Amino acid sequence: MIASTALIPVYAVPIALTMAGWAWHHAARTRRNRALLMQNRATGLSEPPGLHPLIDPARCIGCGACVRACPEHDVLGLIGRTATLIEPWACVGHGVCRDACPTGAIKLVFGTPSRGIEVPVLGAGGETSVPGIHIAGELGGLGLIRNAINQGRDTIDHIARVLRSEIAPDDPDRLDLVIVGCGPAGLAAALGAMERSLRFVAIDQASLGGSVAHYPRGKLVMTAPAHLPLIGEVRLGAVSKERLLAFWQDVLVRTGLAPRFEERVNAVTPDAGGFVVQTDKDRYRARRVVLAMGRGGTPRRLGVPGEDLAKVVYRLTEPGQYAGHRVMVVGGGDTALEAAIALTEVPDTVVTLVHRGSAFSRARPANRDAAEALGRSGAITIHRASRPVAISRTDVTVDGLHGTITLPNDTVIICAGGTLPREWLARIGIAVQTHHGVPVTTL
């Protein structure tokens, strides 16, 4: 017995040290996560931009499975024994946290009690309040390439089943469907339509790739594996904009898909047996319509004199074209900061950044730090708490803390975000709701 008693410290001390170490680590992790959450709240970064997890603390067991599953750094963290959205602004709606939770404590929701998000009302197969018109991808509120591909594919699966159950009209000029938008959702829908031998046309007002085509050069796009019709499983992981666009171009070559680019849809109106889609180049009659445009397709305007001048654009596509220009970037989010940063790499370009806020509170820390450093070095002239009030061919008038000034200017890039094309949807008859925490079950 004495020998057995003597062995107690041999086992008890390591166990006690292990438990003490775990307790110290747990407390330090909690302090760190709580401080990060408080910092984000203090800087106005407490609201997620779109789809995000809502965690039920009564069901959360603090296992950290959701934290480990999230591919974005520091979006989720444990505070005490409860998972918490500590960097809401960085959440992009992967949804893997919900799938990883062993207790079902996580729901994916749109909006918060204080910040509503406008989302079209959708039913099975992404069908809107107008029977026969479907929405897939970002316009329906879901981001990420994987989600867009899945929605585009699933929407076509649903439409194909419905069309098979209907009596086809004796009308050789009527298509089965028109797909509006050639981003990931629209391309997946078009490939699905090809796979099912549907008669269709795919249209985009711009170029291949949707909003991805307008990211600054080299920006990384996070995408999880997804199944693309006619292609199979796509595993790109973290991929540059250039490589992703090259992938889509290869898809067109391999499949023979031929979307009609640079063609804007002006109206979608019902007619007997379906719809008429009127564009600026043609007129299409179809049984169904799939709207796969992005939410950023309708840029938010400043509403100032001179905004309609040709020198005013709403995205940075190719920085090199502005060599030798005096460029003003308007905005304070990631898109604006990334555009300004990219422009500093172009020879002889004078870059000015105008932001209505006093700080870049809604931009990622890496972009904030880079822009601030370039501001201190003089590579970017930053005007905070300022806004353009008039634009002319040779200059821009800016109203700020120190009064009104006029700056020589050749180009204005407005990065004030995009707005849901609510008026356009309303003309079609599509209902839109503002969600303040509505659960999503389609992912």
Percent of the chain residues topping a pLDDT of 70:
88
Question: pLDDT at position 404, please?
Answer: 94
Question: pLDDT at position 189, please?
Answer: 95
Query: Of 121, 5, 124, 105, which is closest to residue 54 (Cα–Cα)?
Result: 105
Task: Give me the residue label for tokens 């076509």.
Answer: 156
Task: Give me the residue label for tokens 């400043």.
Answer: 302
- Report the chain's terminal Cα–Cα distance, integer Å: 61
* CATH architecture, range 312-414: 3-Layer(bba) Sandwich (3.50)
CB count in 10 Å sphere of residue 244: 21
Does pTM top 0.75 for this prediction?
no
Mean pLDDT of 86-91: 81
> Alpha-carbon distance 357 to 359, whole Å?
5
Per-residue pLDDT reduced to its tens digit, 389-406: 999 999 999 999 889 999
Q: Give, in words, the CATH class of 118-298+421-440.
A: alpha beta
Tokens linked to 225? 């594996």
CATH topology classification for 2-115: Alpha-Beta Plaits (3.30.70)
Mean pLDDT of 180-193: 93
DSSP-assigned beta bridge partners for residue 110? 438
Per-residue pLDDT reduced to its tens digit, 118-148: 888 888 999 999 999 999 988 887 767 788 8
Confidence of residue 15 (pLDDT cuts 50, 70, 90): confident
Tokens linked to 436? 């303040």
List of residues 6+ apart from 404 with CB closer than 8 A: 389, 397, 398
> Alpha-carbon distance 104 to 309, whole Å?
53
List of residues 6+ apart from 191 with CB closer than 8 A: 153, 228, 229, 230, 231, 251, 255, 257
Query: Of 159, 151, 101, which is closest to residue 132 (Cα–Cα)?
Result: 159
- The domains spanning 2-115 and 312-414 adopt the same CATH topology: no
> How much is the mean pLDDT over the chain?
85
Mean pLDDT of 67-94: 84
Domain extent listing, the chain? 2-115, 118-298+421-440, 312-414
